Structure 1
Amino acid sequence: MKRIVFIGDSITCQGQYISNIDAFLSLKYPYKQYELMNLGVPGETVFGSSEPEHAGGSSARPDVHTRLQKILTQLKPDLVVACYGMNEGAYKPFNEERFQKFKDGIIRLHDAVKKSGASIIHVTPPVYNGNIYGNVLDTYADWLISQRYTAEWNVIDIYGPMKRYLENKRKEPALPVAKEAMHPGEDWHFIISKEILLSLGQKELAKAGSIQDALYFVPEHDTIMKLVRQRQEILKDAWLNHMGFNSAGMNKGRPVGEAIARAAVISRQITHFRQVPPPNPFGHALIPDMIADASIQVINGSFYCYATTDGYDNGLKTSGPPVVWKSEDFVNWRFSGCLFPSAFGHKYWAPSAAIAAHGKYFLYPTINGFMYAAVADKPEGPFKLATGKDTFYLPYTPATLLKSGEGKPPHGIDAEIFVDDDKQAYIYWQLRKAAKLHADMVTVDSAITMIKTPHTVYSEGPIFFKRKGIYYYLYTVGGAEKYQYAYVMGHHSPLGPFTAPTGSNIISTTDYKRHIFGPGHGSVFNIPGTDDYYFAYLEFGRGSTNRQTYVNKLGFNADGTIHPVSLTMEGVGALKKTKSLHSLPVADVFASSVRPNLVIKPEGDTLFRRTESFAPQFATDGANGSRWMPASGDTASWLMMDLGKVQPVKRSDVYFVRPTAGHAYILEYSVDADNWIPCGGHADLKTQSPHTDQVKIKARYLRVRITGGVKGIWEWNLY
């Protein structure tokens, strides 16, 4: 525990700025166990004399030196924060004798604290909102600041920022100016606390305008501030009384033991509110990354997810690289490296499922806006173009799946492949088009069918499957937040004819009550040997190409028609039992900083409302849909887990944000959160997820420091 004692006059005794600092440190660094003690005394100075008119002549001003040794010997602070100067000038014009006494008293204070072994931070006097006395404080503050350079003191200037703030307020008549000249209001107390915290390295507070801004990373910050102030007042009154420092008009305070017990109860309340994360509007996504247009299938008992990689911040002008996610249980997913090396750096969209044929696997992605056929020996790749030279250039190459003719380019995106029971393959693509695929799996038959559907608007993302002798064709309607899936069904051929079901033919649409927007381009897959079918869809809740994918169970009526999907973001859980390591429960999680909330703007639906938070708790919630990200400019960028006690740890799995761009990091462990030992990570950028470290350690705390790649973590699991 680090004990910080604040001494000063009535401004310190008021305590608001100390409560602000206490709240920030308690919430951001609870594992550090800072103890902030307010021992400010009204009217106090750093020298013994006092103006005759002080307190109506009834008493002299208190002198800090009469109590300083008692503070240092009995409380043994690690750090003393001293704020003096307001009273030393006696609210009169500048006087050289008083100024010299101020300087001598401050030097005496500094030397006594240093001699005790504690550190000391000097704080300049606050601004005075009134007459020429402000010029006196100018001089006092300037001298203190000069000690930074002449004596290497640690001095924090609050006078300058407060003076600038006061001058700006005077320029704006609508802004209130404090009525009392020497006692600052809460806005000024925030400036004091902000400047002290900035000097302690909390650079993310540079733009904060209030304590609420500073505590943005905790949803219940107003409630917590009330509790912190209550705790500070109880302890201040108790310690001042216990040390014999309380004067007339001050609260007597409880006995110290009783006050500490009461403060402990309040601290537990603060911990409870601190650990409550903000709402997660993204639920349980399938993959801990942004993906869209997912084609999910089971191959040799394993689950594969081929998809568009989203989250590269440039809309449809770009995409992430080609990867395939693989899982043994449908809960724990991973990928490593690039699926289709020659397509790296190109716009890679909407790959089909992998089709087994001729002892190989065929994949049909859209690259740079055109469909291609690729081939590999394994479903994990690496894939290469199935025909021609394995290279890409703009606008398209001769290897496109559709061929150009009559001066027209081979337009078509979003290939979906279906292989019927007789082994005949079919291809479906954008705008409800379909054709047979020849036995070589790369030649599209020239007889192209236009599938007739009730909705004739633009359509993409086709899904085709067969169940109990019925063919199902699903197609999208609309886009963005108003994405929908409709369907037709038939009994005769994969090319039709098809009919729409009686009643609704829409199986997925925006659910405003559940706040699920634009369920679009995805797939339907079946667990082999069962009648269990699942519907995967992208959700448009982050806008643009920042989508995630979700999976719901697909149900059927007795006549084969599809139940409209009751969309949820809860996921379907494990679809296969596997042996796994025991996941360690997390007692708490902390971060170097937290990115401010992001209000997501609607693109096509004015009813769309969503805000993304980036709390560190999201990295341990197992939901995949939420993430921790640090504040912009945070060069430390670390996330720390507290396991509650020292215990064995065998493995760490970290799922970084935008993993397809690669990451470097350092994994460390500690038993006390002060002394850290490296136990994993790597200095080079590696493209994979998760990043796994096999460790055999005993630790209470583990910390990931991100040194390369996008700063942020979707999930972090310890075993």
Structure 2
Amino acid sequence: MRPRILITLCLLTICRVAFAQNAVIPDYVADPSVSYFDGTYYMYATSDINHGLAQMGPPVVWKSKDLVNWSYKGTLFSNIDFNKAYTYTDAKGAQKTGYFRYWAPGKVLKRNNQYYLYATIVKPDETMGTYLLLADKPEGPFRFNGGTGVYYNQPEKAAEEAKPVAPDIDGDVFADDDGSAYVVWRRRNAAKLNADWAAMAGEKVSILTKRGGYSEGPFMFKRNGLYYYVYTLSGNANYCYAYMMSKNPLGPYTAPAGTDIILRSDIKTRVWGPGHGNVLHIPETDNYLFFYLEYGNGGTTRLVYANKMEFNADGTIKPIQVNLDGTAAMFKSTAPATVKPVGVNASGSREDRLIKVAIDTALDKLQTMASRYSGLDVVNTERISTAKPENAFDGLNSTYWMANVTDTQPWIQADLGAVKNIKSVDLFFVESTLGHTWKLEASKDGKTWQTVKTQSAPVLMSPESAGKIGQARYLKLTILSGAPGLWEIKIY
């Protein structure tokens, strides 16, 4: 017992580092799945809005040509109001308020010129399931299969309600080479789908894995005749991924001879809680990327990261080295160069935040992972989240400028150092799916200002843009409504 105590005490150290990571997407986003269609990458994901799991942003799809620059416009489907609060009575008779939520869309598949989206829909009273939605284009609009929608407390709509493909959250569908399809969902459940990919064709099966405990965010993929079942363990800053292998999609699966945990926190590179995500196979290559959520500032301020997935000669997966590089380090940006300001100031900034977590460095020693961490080899580590104005121009998707909560009219201003001909400005707002109104002004001398654009009604898109600005040395953005912050301001 004494050696174990000594080791534990030695490892209960505190590491404090600045939080400056390069996320893939400039916003709070979780549970990413990336598909590729006709020269464009599409990321389907959960829209975090820092309100906890009780309320999420509307469903959107982020698009990219180069895996570096991402944008979206509009919602995937519009027959659910995700911002509307509903009152219901829970099982104990208490009155509560709830929202519809869109969670954890799986990898979108193309079949017979239609696009198949499998996503979790949670009703205001917490009933939930994985539903199939269809569209003629990968960006939608999507429509519910087998019904007109999902409804709450509307008995007159019962006959029109779609039925879930799987009776729980985190459903993800894998399509095999022969056209058959399989769905996996949380708690190690799986089933074959019918010929239409619209319902389970038989009884569910349980995937037997090396490690027990709660598990979610599963997905399945195939490479060189081997099937891989990949599943999460633990949670929060100790979120991680393990995997199993088989020659059949529904198993039985076996654990690899080496380590089965392939994605985990790394104190040195400052990546915490890599969890619910999916794998993208780059077309016409043997290159794979693992897109996953990262802890962010905790709660539902999650961010998306990506790292390479590589394989050994026997098909086993090498442990993924999580780092801060992001897709920007792996792929060439096709966007034009931006104009960098020589000075930035703002109406104010939110105070720095110190974020503390306990990370278990011995997760692979456990056969069961029912607890959040083992308590055997724990490192207490910290990082600082800053919100200074310069963050909006640093080229990093995971740092932002955020105004002070007491600021009633937040603004940020950039000095370009000399009068330049400005073509356009892109604005990547924090919590963009909730919408913003704003005003952009330009000046040659910092005294006389001209309003370039006023966005008087919220729109669902990121980035929001202003064009044809012309000659200016100074640019000033005032946020009129919406979250008072920006991940990035790109000046062209």
Q: Deviations over 1:491-520 (max 9, x none)?
A: x22112221111210001121222221111
CA distance in 1, matches of 2:350, 2:293: 25
- Give secondary structure in 2 for the equivalent of 1:660: helix
Summarize the Cα distance change of 1:637–1:648 in structure 2 as closer, same or farther, 3 Å threshold.
same
For 1:305, the equivalent position in structure 2 comes to 43
Specify the code of the residue in structure 2 equivalent to 1:461. G
Q: Does the 8 Å contact 1:297/1:525 carry over to 2?
A: yes
Q: From the superposition, tell whether residues 413 and 600 of structure 1 become closer, same or farther in structure 2 (CA, over 3 Å).
A: same
Distance 2:356 2:151 in 1: 35
The answer to whether structure 1 residue 516 and structure 2 residue 253 are counterparts is no
Candidates 608, 625, 628, aligned match of 2:401:
628
1:433–1:448 CA contact under 8 A, matched in 2: yes
Q: Distance in 1 between matches of 2:17 and 2:454?
A: 31
| 2:142 corresponds to | 383
Q: Which runs of 5+ in 1 are unaligned?
A: 1-277, 404-409
How far residue 467 of structure 1 moved from its aligned partner, in angstroms, is 1.4
* Map of 1:442 onto structure 2: 198
Indicate yes or no: 2:49 matched with 1:286: no
Q: 2:386 — aligned with what?
A: 613
Is the contact between residue 42 and residue 62 of structure 2 (CA under 8 Å) also seen in structure 1? yes
For 2:79, what is the secondary structure of its paired residue? helix
Distance 1:565 1:328, change over 3 A: same
CA change 1:301–1:326 in 2 (3 A) is same
Partner SS, residue 316 of structure 1: coil
Query: Separation in 2 of the partners of 1:689 and 1:365?
Result: 22
Q: Choose the corresponding residue for 2:286, options 509, 518, 531.
A: 531
How do 1:634-649 residues align onto structure 2 when only pairs under 5 Å count? 634-649=407-422
Q: Tell me by how many angstroms 1:395 deviates.
A: 11
Residue 337 of structure 2 corresponds to which residue in structure 1?
Answer: 582
CA distance in 2, matches of 1:465, 1:617: 41
281 and 395 in structure 1: CA distance in 2 versus 1, 3 angstrom threshold: farther
The letter of the residue matching 2:325 is: E
Opposite residue 505 of structure 1, the aligned amino acid is D
1:685 aligned counterpart, secondary structure: coil
Task: Give the AA of the match of 2:479.
Answer: I
Choose the corresponding residue for 2:297, options 542, 558, 572. 542
Partner of 2:152: 393
Question: 5+ unaligned residues in a row in structure 2: which ranges?
Answer: 1-15, 83-99, 123-127, 359-371, 374-378
Superposed displacement of residue 465, structure 1: 1.1
Q: Note if 1:712 corresponds to 2:488.
A: no
Deviation per residue, 1:392-425 (Å, 9 max, x gap)? 226997523247xxxxxx3x11011111111111
Partner residue of 1:96?
Answer: none
Q: Secondary structure at the match of 2:53?
A: helix
Larger helix proportion of the pair: 1
| Distance in 2 of aligned mates of 1:620 and 1:638 | 14
* Aligned position for 2:97: none
Q: Tell me which of 97, 101, 107 is aligned to 1:353.
A: 107
* Distance across 1 between alignment mates of 2:154 and 2:285: 44
Richer in strand (by share): 2
Q: Which residue of 1 aligns with 2:125?
A: none
Cα deviation, 1:651-692, whole Å, max 9, x if unaligned, reads: 110001110011111111111212111112311111110001
Q: CA deviation at 1:338?
A: 1.2
- Aligned partner of 1:563: which letter? K
**Cα distance change of structure 1 residues 630 and 651 upon mapping to structure 2, 3 Å threshold:** same
Q: Secondary structure at the match of 1:294?
A: strand
Cα pair 1:360 1:376 within 8 Å, conserved: yes
Aligned residues: 433
Q: Does 1:329 align with 2:329?
A: no
Identity of aligned residues (%): 42
Distance in 2, Cα, partners of 1:601 & 1:521: 21
Equivalent residues in 2 for 1:466-477, closer than 5 Å: 466-477=222-233
Match of 2:80 in 1: 343
Match of 2:210 in 1: 454
Cα deviation 1:566-616 (Å, max 9, x = unaligned): 111220227665753332122222111111112335486772423211011
Alignment-derived partner of residue 669 in structure 1: 442
Question: Residue 185 of structure 2 is aligned with which of 409, 424, 429?
Answer: 429
Instruction: State the alpha-carbon separation in 1 of the partners of residues 431 and 21 from structure 2.
Output: 18
Cα deviation, residue 358, structure 1: 2.8
Partner residue in 1 for 2:131: 372
In the other structure, the counterpart of 1:233 is none
Q: Is the 8 A contact 1:341 1:384 kept in 2?
A: no
Contact 2:340 2:393 (C-alpha < 8 Å) held by counterparts = no
Q: State the distance in 1 between where 2:35 and 2:178 align.
A: 20
Of 596-605 and 360-369, the range deviating more from structure 2: 596-605
Tell me if the contact between 2:150 and 2:162 (Cα under 8 Å) persists in the aligned partners.
Answer: no
Aligned pairs for 1:241-320 (under 5 A) are 280-313=18-51, 315-320=52-57
SS of the counterpart of 2:392? helix
Matched residue type, 1:429: W
By how many angstroms is 1:694 displaced?
Answer: 1.4
Whether the 8 Å CA contact 2:31–2:46 is kept in 1: the answer is yes
Instruction: Tell me, in whole angstroms, the C-alpha distance in 1 between the residues paired with 2:78 and 2:335.
Output: 32
Counterparts in 2 of 1:599 and 1:477: CA distance versus 1, 3 Å: same
Provide the rounded CA distance (Å) in 2 between the counterparts of 1:512 and 1:575.
22
Distance 2:150 2:218 in 1: 27
Q: Please tell me whether the aligned partners of residues 50 and 299 of structure 2 are also in contact (alpha carbons under 8 angstroms).
A: no
Letter in structure 1 aligned against 2:164? L
- How big is the shift at 1:377? 1.2
Hey, what's the Cα distance between the residues in 1 that align with 2:382 and 2:228?
Answer: 34
1: CA distance, partners of 2:232 / 2:428 = 31
Letter in 2 for 1:357: R
Q: Distance in 1 between matches of 2:110 and 2:81?
A: 23
CA distance in 2, matches of 1:612, 1:577: 28
Give distance in 2, aligned partners of 1:505 and 1:291: 27
State the structure with bigger RCO (CA 8 A, min sep 6), 1 or 2: 2
Contact 1:536 1:551 in 2 (8 A): yes
Distance 1:428 1:343 in 2: 25
1:388: Cα distance to partner? 1.4
Q: What is the Cα deviation at residue 633 of structure 1?
A: 1.9
Whether 1:465 aligns to 2:203 is: no
- Determine the C-alpha separation between the residues in 1 that align with 2:444 and 2:488: 22
Taking structure 1 as reference, are residues 581 and 517 closer, same or farther at Cα in structure 2, changes over 3 Å only?
Answer: closer
How far off its partner does 1:374 sit?
A: 0.9
SS in 1 for 2:327: coil
The one-letter code matched in structure 2 to 1:330 is L
Residue matched to 2:353: 598
Deviations 1:183-219 (A, max 9, x none): xxxxxxxxxxxxxxxxxxxxxxxxxxxxxxxxxxxxx
Helix, strand or coil for the counterpart of 2:380? Answer: coil
TM-score calculated relative to the size of structure 1: 0.58
Residues 1:484 and 2:240 are matched in the alignment: yes
User: How large is the Cα RMSD of the aligned pairs?
Assistant: 2.1
Match of 2:369 in 1: none
User: 2:148 is aligned with what amino acid?
Assistant: K
Question: Residue 320 of structure 1: SS of its match in structure 2?
Answer: coil
Q: Look up the match of 2:255.
A: 500
Structure 1 residue 683 and structure 2 residue 456: aligned? Answer: yes
1:476 & 1:596 partners in 2: Cα distance?
Answer: 34
- State which structure, 1 or 2, has the greater radius of gyration over its C-alpha atoms: 1
